[in-house]
Each structure stands twice: as structure tokens, then as C-alpha cells.
Structure 1
Amino acid sequence: MRKLDEERSWVTDEQRLTRFGRTLRSTSLDELPSLWNVLRGDMSFVGPRPLLVEYLEQYSPAQARRHEVRPGITGLAQVNGRNHVRWSERFTLDVAYIENRGFWMDARILCATVRTVFTRQGISQDGHATMKRFGEGDG
């Protein structure tokens, strides 16, 4: 990403994203470094996507359940709309995963992830590199 530059109108993440960065995002190659976290045991392949620490104080008790499992590279929200999913739906899907997790669910999510990545569905919301920040409406 480019540095924040108000003179050039590089203010939002979408405006600061370079062509190379856009290509990495659209192909999901920007997720490859997360494999290191899986190998280290900090993440799993499937689970709720990790979110910014600054969101923690905004979670309801139900939303905070997403921390009952290790975060994942992909999850139920990612294969059900990715960044086009509203925040409330994302948290609902995260909790649904926690309540129903198992080998077959993980296998279905991994297969669906391959389809989602190849079809490049739901990569970003309009005007955002990914999606609205949590707390900026339920977009």
C-alpha cells in the first residue's frame, strides 16, 4: 500500500492500494504469510478470521464467542460472502461454526474456499480495500 498522502488523495485503503496490491488481494495471495502462523500453531486453516484488537471492547458476549477457538485463514463467513457479508452476519456465522465445528464442516469450508478464491467472489466492498471497519455501521 502507498503511504497516506492527502495531497494526492491517497486517504482510504482503497485509494492507497497499488495495482500489485490489488492483484494480490484479488487472487488471495496476500494470505500466504498466514500459513506461517498455521505452522507455528497460532492459527488453524479453518476458524473465525482474526480481527483487529481494537474491536475487542465492541463485541457483545455472543460475538466474543469467536475467541473460543483458534482463528483461521478461512471460515464460514468467508465462504458465505467474504467481505460482502454484514458484520452482524459475520459474527452469526462465526458462532455457528463454533457450535457445529468438526472434521466434515472444516472439509466443506476448505472446498468452498477453493471455489471462492478461484471465482474471486466477495473480495471487497465498494470503496474499501476489504470492508468497512467494525463499528462504522453494519455494512
Structure 2
Amino acid sequence: MATHQSPITQFNRLIKYVLDRLFAALALVVFSPFIVFVAIAIYLRMGRPIVFTQARPGKDGHIFTFYKFRTMTDDRDADGNLLPDVQRITAIGKFLRQTSLDELPQLWNVLKGDMSFVGPRPLLVEYLERYSPEQARRHDVMPGITGWAQINGRNSISWSEKFKLDVWYVDNWSLWLDLKILFLTIWKVVKKDGINQSAQDTMEKFMGN
């Protein structure tokens, strides 16, 4: 089997790590009014909890607590089962997803060192045992708030395509690539290009190859 040499040296990892934490701290200060406003709006519409938390795998598969603004209610059917996403998402939830404001709490993940601004998106823990060895390479780097797959299709592409893009990022990383991804992410959010406008903003679960 061919080995893969990551372009991310220990020095580059340190630079990326320091820049991530520095800009996460600045962003939390700059966006604090938006964070407070969104938190109040969620509380008034849905109550607590305001922030959705979930265990997610990070670099090398290490598990961390992932944060995101809550966008759905906990409404259930007569048997106690959660209703489909399309029935639970609220008007403010749709707005938060379409504007990506629901991702703001992940700035805390970046500040803590769990995540980076740019990298493969952290997915579900249950997927870890379903990846092929090649797909599992997406965990060779820190997960990100945005990534190469997010600006090249997001939820409109298949799992296979998404993982190929994630691994491509691992093999071609540079600070310039991160800057390009950040710029294109902001541009797509402003234009609402590639943002799923439907109420159900989630993909089917990845069940393996």
C-alpha cells in the first residue's frame, strides 16, 4: 500500500493552531453581540437548551464535544419518538442554517483547540468504523468549521465525493488554500450559493461503502 506524506509539517501545524486560536478569540469578541442576540431569540422561541451539543471525532478520531446553535424543537410523536427534522425545524432555525449563524458556537471549539477554522467537517462518532482506510485519512488533520467539501457542493454531493474532497484537502493543504476556502465560504454565504434552502438541511446517514 502506498504511503501518503502530509504537507502539514509540525511547524505548519503549530502556525495553523496559533492562528486558529488567535482569530477565534478575536471573532468571539467581534461576534459577541450576534451570539447574544441569537441566544435570546432561540430561548424565546424554543427555550433551553440554546446550544446543541454532541460528541464528534476530531483529529486522529479523538472525541470532543461539538457545539452548535439549536435549530430544532424536541417535538415527539405519541410513542415518544422525535418527529422528522422537517417538522421540528423552526423559522429561526431555517434562518440560522441559511446564514450559517448556527455555526458560531464552534468558535469556542476552535479556541479550545478541538477544531480549526478550515478542515473536514466533524461527523458522527458512529461513522468511524464505517470509513475505508482512505476515507479515514480525513482525520489526519483537525476538523473545521468549513472545508473544501463545503465549498464544493456541501449537502448536494454524495458521501463518496465528499470524502474524496476531504482527503484531497489533507494531501494539498497550505495556508493559502485555507485562506481561499475561508474567502469562498464567506462569498457563498453572502450569495446563499450552495446553501440548502429547504427545511431539511441534513444528508442521509453514511452507512459505509
Aligned equivalent of 1:2, options 51, 55, 73? 73
Judge conservation of contact 2:138–2:163 (CA < 8 Å) in 1.
yes
CA distance in 2, matches of 1:76, 1:18: 29
User: Could you say which residue in structure 2 is the equivalent of 1:100?
Assistant: 172
User: Could you say which residue in structure 1 is the equivalent of 2:134?
Assistant: 62
User: Could you say which residue in structure 2 is the equivalent of 1:14?
Assistant: 86
Change (3 A) 1:125 1:91: farther
Overall identity of the aligned pairs, in %: 58
CA distance in 1, matches of 2:76, 2:186: 36
- Aligned positions, number: 136
Q: Superposition pairs for residues 9-88 of structure 1, below 5 Å?
A: 11-88=83-160
TM-score normalised to the size of structure 1? Answer: 0.89
Aligned AA (2:156) = H
Q: Which runs of 5+ in 2 are unaligned?
A: 1-71
State the Cα RMSD in Å: 2.2
Q: Per-residue CA shift, 1:69-118, capped at 9, x if unaligned?
A: 00000100000011112111100000000000011111111111011111
CA distance in 2, matches of 1:61, 1:129: 28
TM-score normalised to the size of structure 2? Answer: 0.60
Q: Which runs of 5+ in 1 are unaligned?
A: none
User: Could you say which residue in structure 1 is the equivalent of 2:33?
Assistant: none
Higher mean C-alpha deviation, range 126-135 or range 93-102: 126-135
